[in-house]
Amino acid sequence: MDQRHREILRRHRTSLVTTLDTANICDGLLSKGVFTQDMIDEIQNKETRRDRARALLVDLETRGSMAFRCFLECLRETEYHDQAGLLESGDGAHPPMPVPVQPSLIPLPVQRPNYTEYPDRSVVIPPRVVPPRPGTLPVPKPISPPSETKQEDQKPTRNRRDSIQTYKMDANPCGICLIINNVDFEPDSSLKDRTGSNIDCDKMERRFKALNFKVDVKRNLKCKYIKRDMSTLSKEDHSLYDCCVVIILSHGTEANHNRFPGAVHGVDGKAISIQIITNYLNGHNCPSLQGKPKLFFIQACGGGERDTGFEVSPDEAQPSMGGEDDQTDAIPMSSSSDSLSTSDEIDARATLPTPSDMLVSYSTFPGYVSWRDTEAGSWYIENLDRVLQQNADTDDLVTMLMMVNDAVSQISAKGLYKQMPGSFNFLRKLLYFQTPRS
């Protein structure tokens, strides 16, 4: 937050602490991505209303350049118009904050080099130089325009070797990989133990260590501890890393959402939505991961429906049978949102920032069950591990996930039921993992 905005908040802190009820304002700050759910829980746990208001103002100063304006919007939305006007004007000490005006842009003449430009491409391709025939004088190489040479000489060096095409992925280690493996569920949760999940966990731990990630495995977490560990991950300093990975192996269900569907269960049976999990690592809540890829791999059911597929010709598919002990990671449910705890209800009405540089890969299509072999592990993780092992040297992540989709789609549970993985991709560039041969 700008120092000027901090001074305005401190100048009027007494008035704000005296008048504010933080409940509605906290909801607004959560929906705008300024506060995390854990921060709001800490604020609401304060004993008195004044303490809650004071804690909110203290935390607000740490939440970045847009926090002040978002706070003003929340004040107006909750009918604290006098307080909003007081802060905006600085109580006469400063003039009202000007509304930014888009400057007029005057195009400058561009000296076009002697290149061929294709209208349906964004790439400018130099003309092909034909080598001289034997016995003829050599053709001189084309000289770059002086302006281009000068611009190249003045280009600053950067520590991060990003390009428009690919993410930088050469840090050592590349990043943190958090694995949450829920196997043994409490009797009161009405959820079965997930036999075979330890096999999935071991595969992912070995695979991402081989991809040069620092792997942290958490087992049998209640819902509140999933939130705690995601909050801890968001507060890490990722400035020396290039990527962050979260893998969740648990029971799952449907959930209302604005961005990412589905929810996963803690071993206590309570659920947290995928949207809230991803929100911990967005640009507002984890600044040191801004512009860097954040990858989520979810082995959990997306709902309770079982897909029997549709019949195709033998040329279209190469079906394979699943194991005899295939189980699902779903639970019975009466509606798409009944299984969510009350702490997740804000997810149904919150409008969250666009999750740039995120990819969420699901083991199954939203609404459908995900199959797991009690002896070999889940179909999705087994094939994800295999594809990463065989193809990470040469293929980007999105291409490899399509390979996983195809492989899992060929499997049948009990000779009847199918499964279709998929992903929500908000990456801006191609992503190639580090490998021992890279």
Which of 251, 257, 265, 284 is labelled catalytic?
Answer: 251
Q: Show the 3-state SS of the chain.
A: CCHHHHHHHHHCHHHHHHHCCHHHHHHHHHHCCCCCHHHHHHHHCCCCHHHHHHHHHHHHCCCCCCHHHHHHHHHHHCCCHHHHHHHHHHHHCCCCCCCCCCCCCCCCCCCCCCCEECCCCCCEECCCCCCCCCCCCCCCCCCCCHHHHHHHHCCCCCCCCCCCCECCCCCCCCEEEEEEECCCCCHHHCCCCCCCHHHHHHHHHHHHHHCCEEEEEEECCCHHHHHHHHHHHHCCCCCCCCEEEEEEECCEECCCCCCCCCEEECCCCCEEEHHHHHHCCCCCCCHHHCCCCEEEEEECCCCCECECCCCCCHHHCCCEECCCCEEECCCCCCCCCCCCCHHHHHHHCCCCCCCCCEEEEECCCCCECCEEECCCEEHHHHHHHHHHHHHCCCCCHHHHHHHHHHHHHCEEECCCEECCCEEEECCCCECCCCCCCC
Known catalytic membership, residue 251: yes
Active-site residue flag, 301 = yes
| Catalytic sites, residue numbers | 251, 301
